[in-house]
Homo-oligomer: A and B are copies of this chain.
């Protein structure tokens, strides 16, 4: 296994490691509820662009969607194979209901989830996460970086 001394690694090395982690299928998605408490849910990333943009299929009626309407602050976390490796991206979550966004992430199999009209199901919505900063964990070291 290749190891890295995070103190000696350049920011570019760390971003490259982070980008690899950010390609994982499952993200742990964080929100803040009305009582100022954190919530987490594992979600499948429907579409992504680098370290900056991540899309998720959701429901307008979902608990999380309601939370993001009140407080758009969000984070997503990707877990490395070994526990000591992880990536947290911090940013904001938008709730999108326009046709283009829906088409962008729609997959045929999703008709089994959105049973009230498939892509036209009024409960189907798109969550778009935009990252501002990243925090990469490696052993007991961390490195924080901006995301342009």
Residues of A within 8 A of B (CB): 25-26, 28, 30-32, 35-42, 44, 63, 71, 73-77, 79, 83, 86, 88, 90, 113, 137, 140, 142
Contacts and interface: CB of A to CB of B under 8 A. Distances in A.
Contacts of A36: 32, 36, 71, 73
B26 A28 contact: no
A30 B33 CA distance: 12
Report copies per complex.
Answer: 2
Contacts of A76: 40
A38 B32 contact: yes
A57 to B, nearest CB: 11
Nearest to A67: B38
A42 B83 contact: yes
B73 A42 contact: no
Contacts of A31: 38
A52 B129 CA distance: 32
A41 B86 contact: yes
Given A32-B32, A38-B40, A40-B88, 19 more contacts: A28-B42, A30-B30, A31-B38, A32-B36, A32-B37, A36-B36, A36-B71, A37-B73, A37-B75, A38-B38, A38-B74, A39-B75, A39-B88, A39-B90, A40-B75, A40-B77, A41-B77, A41-B86, A41-B88
